[in-house]
Amino acid sequence: MISRWQSCMLFLFLYQVAQRHECNATGSIGTVFGRVGSQVILNCSGGQAADTRVLWTHNGMQVNRVNNESSITLNLTSLSLAGHYSCIDESTQRKLRDFQLCVGYPPDKPIVSCHSFNYPDAFRCQWQPQTTQLVSFTAKYRPLPTEPEEECLIVNATTCMGTQTFLFSTTPVQLTVIASNEFGETSSTTYFILEDIVKPDPPRKVWARWRNFAYITWRAPTSWSDEELYPLMYQVRYRGQHSSQWQLVEVADFNRNIKLKELLPWEDYFVQVSAKDFLDNGFWSAWSPTLKLKAKCAVVSFVNKYAPIGSNITIPCTLPEPTGKPSKEFRKPRVIWKLNGYRLRKSSAYSLKRRRLSIQHVKPSDEGRYTCHLQRDRFRVHLVKLLVGNDPLWRPLTGAAERRRREDPPAKLNISCHSNNYPESFRCQWQPPMTFLKNNYTTKLW
């Protein structure tokens, strides 16, 4: 069932389609366009005699009394007056002429904005039509009051480009955009100084290399006229995958590269670059396409550990000592511990003493990836993967015992089988043993 609201919407849609079709009428039907609120005169000059009595119909219904006037005047035209009009000779009932009256609104004033993307060679202006009707646009500008009016080259339906410019002119450029349709036209005029609207396109080819820090490079936009004569300055912003706040960094001396050192290992980062005229004219460009990079680090040592729930465990940070004379940093090491990238601090659950992390009353939430690194060397880390389970009899093994454990086959399984769709098939199940190691299972049928 179709609701009343859906029926109304369907009727309005079909009415609009019909009106659009009727307004495109051709052949013997004359199309007349009338602006809402204006006066429209339909003249039935069909070659009839002067004393011929004429009647008018609107969509088949008579709209005025019989008289000898050959025209009809519609005052304050509204959308309801649109449709098919005919003038008919009353005596012979011969149709003298047909009209299709289309009623509508002129386009709204376009909203215009201009920018110089390749200063000082050209500028580009864009506008918003503010209407769904079919509208045509023309644009003209006058660079100086003493100069002739120039045509702004239409690039597409909402953009034009001007190439006649004057550097450091104190007289604003005057640009006018005219929007027109069958019901009338409107225009918008804007004024600007060329240096005030400089806005480069975004930088291109942003990429990164990793050297214990992120080395970000990029290139100037291809549309910029000449970077040697008109250099650009840049700024970079970046944020971590789990952060909503961007960190903004200004690039010095018009360089097209920067080093980002304040990055966390194993974290994904998003980087964008923006450009601006070196004299600080105009606006910053839009941000470049986002570059995604992963901060890398050197895993100096790695170990797996298992802890039963409720137990206590101590994890040493086994970073290798440097060769030669120990530095002050190793004589009094400051070690940073992290769990899944988040820094751990001393609490009732964690004890941090020199290079050891002690976890009291292990919980399932303590499972994860633990890393430790020196405060001044965050990219050389010791990695510990801690698994938490409910096997209180498990004890960590090291050395030869650990190797034998890995080489020994797993314990026998208790298997139970059932057929729930006899005699087609059967299903067997088993309970995997609680173990730190990952086991693979295969089955055979004799």
DSSP 406: H
> What is the pLDDT averaged over residues 381-389?
84
Domain boundary among 389, 411, 440: 389
pTM above 0.75, yes or no: no
Q: Is residue 167 part of a domain?
A: yes
Sheet holding 123-128, edge to edge: 111-115, 123-128, 159-162, 153-156
Q: Average pLDDT in the 154-160 region?
A: 87
In whole angstroms, what is the distance from residue 297 CA to residue 381 CA? 7
Q: Evaluate whether residue 433 is within a structural domain.
A: no
Same domain, 304 and 289: no
The verdict on residue 157 lying in a domain is yes
Q: Note the Cα 88 to chain centre separation in Å.
A: 60
Is the domain of 183 the same as that of 140? yes
pLDDT of 201 above 90 = yes
If one counts every other C-beta atom within 10 angstroms of the C-beta of residue 165, the result is 16
Lookup result for tokens 């050959």: 70
Residues 187 and 228 in one domain: no
For residues 92 and 117, state if they share a domain.
no
What single string gives the DSSP state of each residue in 76-106? S--GGG-EEEEEEETTTTEEEEEEEEEEE-P
Would 430 be classed as within a structural domain?
Answer: no
Is 2 contained in some domain? no
- 181 and 231 share a domain? no
Residue 422 lies in a domain: no
Report pLDDT for 247.
92
Task: State whether 95 and 171 are in the same domain.
Answer: no
> Are 176 and 189 in contact, with CB atoms under 8 Å apart?
yes
Number of domains in the chain: 4
What pLDDT digit, counting tens, does each position of 313-346 carry?
999 888 766 544 555 544 566 788 888 878 888 8
Interval 23-41: pLDDT, tens: 654 445 788 888 888 888 8
CATH of the domain at 68: 2.60.40.10
Cis bond leading into 120, ω under 30°?
yes
> Which range has highest mean pLDDT (9-23, 128-142, 219-233, 250-264)?
219-233
- pLDDT for 415 equals 86
Contacts of 159 (CB under 8 A, 6+ apart): 124, 125, 126
Distance of CA 210 to the CA centre of its chain: 27
> Could you list the residue range(s) of the whole structural domain that residue 191 is in?
111-197
- Regarding whether 273 and 208 lie in a shared domain, the answer is yes
Contacts of 6 (CB under 8 A, 6+ apart): none
Q: What is the pLDDT of residue 56?
A: 84
SS3 state at 240? strand
DSSP three-state, residue 401: helix
Predicted confidence (pLDDT) per residue in 61-81, tens digit: 888 654 556 788 888 888 888
**87 and 54 in contact (C-beta within 8 Å)?**
yes
Q: In this structure, are 275 and 215 located in the same domain? A: yes
Q: Is the confidence at residue 153, as pLDDT, over 50?
A: yes
* End-of-domain residue from the set 147, 163, 197: 197
Same domain, 209 and 175: no
Domain shared by 96 and 122, yes or no: no
Query: Residue 10 — very low, low, confident or very high, per pLDDT cuts 50/70/90?
Result: very low
DSSP code at position 116: B
| Interatomic CA distance for residues 194 and 384, integer angstroms | 60
Any domain includes 401: no
Residue 406 has pLDDT above 60, yes or no: no
Last residue of a domain, one of 57, 72, 104: 104
Residue 426 within any structural domain of the chain = no
Output the average pLDDT for the chain.
79
